[in-house]
Structure 1
Amino acid sequence: MNDICFPPQNALLSAEQALSRISQTIQPLSGVEIVDLRRALGRTLAEDVFAAIDMPPQRNSAMDGYAFAAAGLSGAADFRLRMVGTAWAGKPFNGTLGLGECIRIFTGAVVPDSADSVVAQEQTRAEAEQISFFAPCLFQKNIRPAGSDFKADELLLRMPKKLTPRDIGLLAAAGIAAVKVRRRVRIGFFSTGDELAPLGAELDVGQIYDSNRYLLAAMLDDPNFEVHDLGTVKDDPLALEATLIGAAANHDALVSTGGASVGDADYVKQVLEKCGQVNFWKLAIKPGKPLAFGKIGDCWYFGLPGNPVAVLVTYHKFVKPGLDCLLGALPRPPLQLRVRSDSQLRKVPGRSEYQRGILKQGENGELTVAAAGPQDSHQLKVASMANCFIVLDADCDGVSRGDWVLVEPFTLDL
């Protein structure tokens, strides 16, 4: 007879299978809005963006120096030209350059049509209006062609890109003051458990503070989301059912923590089966095996485990990709780096694991990773110390120091 807590391996989905179900099931939300560029950072484009102008609009100088026509001159010998004007950035020189003439020009200033070369001021000496140029001089250089960054009608950004600070700068350079973006995803989240106490309360025996709601709130802090904290729900199936049905009517997605396992006080799966649909429940991963994914009406539901480190893992591996699907983006594999382990890592074959690690870069540039500490799924202090997941596949039976492992950095700031 099989232990209900450890069902046959074929009853569990792999992380890849679960992600595939999420991406194949969740369809993008309808609804867009137009936002001012200053409020567009992090939002998800709802249409491709094309340039309306060339950038730069005219030829301009790549440096401070002197512009002239190189006809009849030799860059292999010193020569002198007469300065007849100045081109400033935003204040062009409107005359015409003849043979033997040059103009003073500054970075970004329009290069006159009659000039084909700019020489840096460091290669010259000015004596009143006479400018001496010293060999060797490179002709037909240091001029940025019109449209050398992008041209009118060129594709700048493709939907459903999430706009970065670099994108905002690009759009501003193109003169685009507003963009069409996906509407925000309405998300409700809550914790379940009789043992949970609010911050500021005195803990009774057996109680813990409700850290999961704060963890989820922080992870859901995204300009694409309209997030509502629905509080804490007691370990009561009727209370859970009422919360799910009521919240599903006003949200695109719900995320809960706790109650997803098989204990006598774990009601998530049975309540979801009653009021909605269960797509999958158990995963072959650690931490995070009991994860319920399904739908209540038109609202998607993620029932995460109660241990906070399992919440951290399952949010990053499944909830975030699912919410990206609602924004029209297919889940993308996370960045993985192959590095050597500085620690011996314990593991039992059977489930893939996401252990918490500290990724470091040595003086020689080589990356190594070490366990951040004990790997129990309740230990938030270790998770706080970590800056990556150490990804161990299901067949792995442990790692020796010096072995190669895969890591997924939380950020690239090492």
Structure 2
Amino acid sequence: MTRLGGGRHGSGLVTLDEAAARAVARAVPLPGTAALPLAEADGHVLAQAVIAPRDLPPFANAAVDGYAVRFADLAAGAETCLPVLGRTFAGEAPAMLAHGAWRIFTGAAVPDGADTVVMQEDVAAADGAVVLPAGIRRGAHLRLAGEDVACGQEVLPAGRRLRPQDLGLVAALGLARVTVRARPRVALFSTGDELVEPGRPLPPAAIYDANRVMLRAMLRRAGADVADLGILRDGAAGLERRLREAAAVSDLVLTSGGVSVGEADHVRDAVLASGRLDLWQVAIKPGKPIALGSVAGTPFLGLPGNPVAVFVGFAFLARPLLARMAGEAYLPPPARPVRLGFAHGKKPGRREFLRVSLEPSGDGWVARRHPGEGAGSLASLAQSDGLIVLAEDVVAVEAGDEAPFLPYAELF
């Protein structure tokens, strides 16, 4: 990997890190909480930490099918023969254990006094007794009460975006509801006279609106409530009015298209007519024309028209902004190094994102670049696994170099 020497390259553009910091600074955590049943809580952000009201597991139980015994009843360094006193299945409460063994099954509560479980595969059973091998460890195959979670322990912090495994833990503790924060309300537009809704006839020189479909899905994965307001045509007057109407009923206005420098790109003027712009161009590829500001006091983010630029801009600017609004304790996913199967040169001063797929190769994985390199190639996103990230000071990489890789699955 070749990096730029001789100091920082000045591009005159806002860096991605600075743009993300400005986006987060503009966002304010939303007020309001709600107690949701677990069936509705996936993807919501916890407003209050979850404190365990009881031990988990709530009682000592067997980790395997076998026999519960008292370690003190086992002979030291020799086999032990014990009578089988009874049996317990999961959900049954066993009796006190006297001198002997108790047939037990996975998850069943062990009898009072038992402190060790011997796997059924390790014993010989006959005529109402079992022969236990020598060398059994005290406490073997026994799950103690509170071993997983102790009563009073904080198990999930405030700010956690709830995942399926989190909800499983809450349910195991006997809680039916969690207190979550309000979800950001996002007004979503596409802009452009060339756009047509999918499913309708396609006139000459028109294209289907794919960006809004993709953004709607990404917004929902990011935990937002979406008001899909359709396609805004390119007339400046109507654009300003629609933006103001959307700003009045949402926490964020998000658009795609119309933020470049062409004569028909009216979004900038429409935003300035009723708000402000904090930045206009970001030092990334793809996705340089990105507008961040506000409309009538509501945060505004204008993404480019090319689909790959939309995807990148949303992942690294909209995602942390929405997390801040939702009160989420969000950290950008860490990139991991992978070996490159291609060479690439780039201009210094911009962070560049390359679409790649991972293939097994020898003792690891190698990243292969998708042949669709343009910012308009939706196929390159759908047919790849993630992004290679080349820093601002990198000017060239060669096959065999290592570079940071971000899987799509970790971005949303």
Band the TM-score falls in, shorter-chain normalisation: over 0.9
Once the two structures are superposed, the pairs formed by residues 4-403 of structure 1 within 5 Å of their partners are 9=10, 11-71=12-72, 73-97=74-98, 99=99, 101-222=100-221, 224-362=223-361, 364=363, 366-403=364-401
Residue type of the partner of 1:322? L
SS of the aligned residue for 2:36 comes to: strand
SS of the aligned residue for 1:229 comes to: strand
Deviation of 1:102 (Å) = 2.0
Separation of aligned partners in 1, 2:296 and 2:147: 51
Deviation of 1:235 (Å) = 1.1
Q: 2:5 maps to which residue?
A: none
SS of the aligned residue for 1:11 comes to: coil
Give the conservation status (yes or no) of the 8 Å contact 2:337–2:402.
yes
Separation of aligned partners in 2, 1:84 and 1:279: 77
Residue type of the partner of 2:116? S
**Structure 1 pair 53–298 and aligned structure 2 pair: CA distance change class (3 A):** farther
**Structure 1 pair 353–344 and aligned structure 2 pair: CA distance change class (3 A):** same
Separation of aligned partners in 1, 2:192 and 2:74: 84
**TM (normalized to structure 2)?**
0.92
Deviation per CA, 1:278-315: give whole Å up to 9, x if none.
12111111111111111223422111111111111101
Deviation per CA, 1:218-240: give whole Å up to 9, x if none.
22233832212111111111111
Give the conservation status (yes or no) of the 8 Å contact 1:188–1:253.
yes
Q: 1:3 maps to which residue?
A: none
Q: Which moved more, 1:266-275 or 1:134-143?
A: 134-143
Structure 2 residue runs of 5 or longer lacking an equivalent are: 1-8
Deviation of 1:107 (Å) = 1.7
Deviation of 1:9 (Å) = 4.5
Separation of aligned partners in 1, 2:199 and 2:64: 60
Separation of aligned partners in 2, 1:281 and 1:324: 22
Deviation of 1:360 (Å) = 2.6
Separation of aligned partners in 2, 1:43 and 1:78: 55
Over the residues paired in the alignment, what is the CA RMSD in angstroms? 2.0
Deviation of 1:49 (Å) = 0.5
**Structure 1 pair 70–385 and aligned structure 2 pair: CA distance change class (3 A):** closer
Deviation of 1:40 (Å) = 1.1
The percentage of counterpart residues that share the same residue type is 36
SS of the aligned residue for 1:397 comes to: strand
Give the conservation status (yes or no) of the 8 Å contact 2:70–2:116.
yes
Deviation of 1:348 (Å) = 2.2
Separation of aligned partners in 2, 1:384 and 1:112: 56
Residue type of the partner of 2:377? Q
**Structure 1 pair 140–393 and aligned structure 2 pair: CA distance change class (3 A):** closer
Separation of aligned partners in 2, 1:151 and 1:297: 50
Give the conservation status (yes or no) of the 8 Å contact 1:321–1:330.
no
Deviation per CA, 1:362-409: give whole Å up to 9, x if none.
353x12112111321112222221211111122222322122221211
**Structure 1 pair 305–66 and aligned structure 2 pair: CA distance change class (3 A):** same
Give the conservation status (yes or no) of the 8 Å contact 2:159–2:329.
no
SS of the aligned residue for 2:395 comes to: coil
Separation of aligned partners in 2, 1:9 and 1:263: 25
Residue type of the partner of 1:229? D
Residue type of the partner of 2:400? G
**Taking CA–CA contacts closer than 8 Å with sequence separation of 6 or more, which of the two structures ends up with the larger relative contact order?**
2
**Structure 1 pair 264–223 and aligned structure 2 pair: CA distance change class (3 A):** closer
**Structure 1 pair 87–330 and aligned structure 2 pair: CA distance change class (3 A):** closer
Separation of aligned partners in 1, 2:111 and 2:207: 73
Deviation of 1:249 (Å) = 0.6
Separation of aligned partners in 1, 2:33 and 2:301: 24
Residue type of the partner of 1:142? H
Deviation of 1:330 (Å) = 5.0
Q: Which moved more, 1:146-155 or 1:272-281?
A: 272-281
**Structure 1 pair 330–260 and aligned structure 2 pair: CA distance change class (3 A):** farther
Residue type of the partner of 1:159? A
Give the conservation status (yes or no) of the 8 Å contact 1:9–1:284.
no
**TM (normalized to structure 1)?**
0.92
Separation of aligned partners in 2, 1:223 and 1:355: 23
Separation of aligned partners in 2, 1:357 and 1:270: 37
Separation of aligned partners in 1, 2:73 and 2:220: 64
Q: 1:409 maps to which residue?
A: 407
SS of the aligned residue for 1:243 comes to: helix
Deviation of 1:30 (Å) = 0.6
Separation of aligned partners in 2, 1:75 and 1:397: 69
Residue type of the partner of 2:162? L
Separation of aligned partners in 1, 2:407 and 2:222: 22
Separation of aligned partners in 2, 1:129 and 1:221: 60
Give the conservation status (yes or no) of the 8 Å contact 1:23–1:330.
no
**Structure 1 pair 330–106 and aligned structure 2 pair: CA distance change class (3 A):** closer
Deviation per CA, 1:170-211: give whole Å up to 9, x if none.
011101100011122211111111121222344333322222
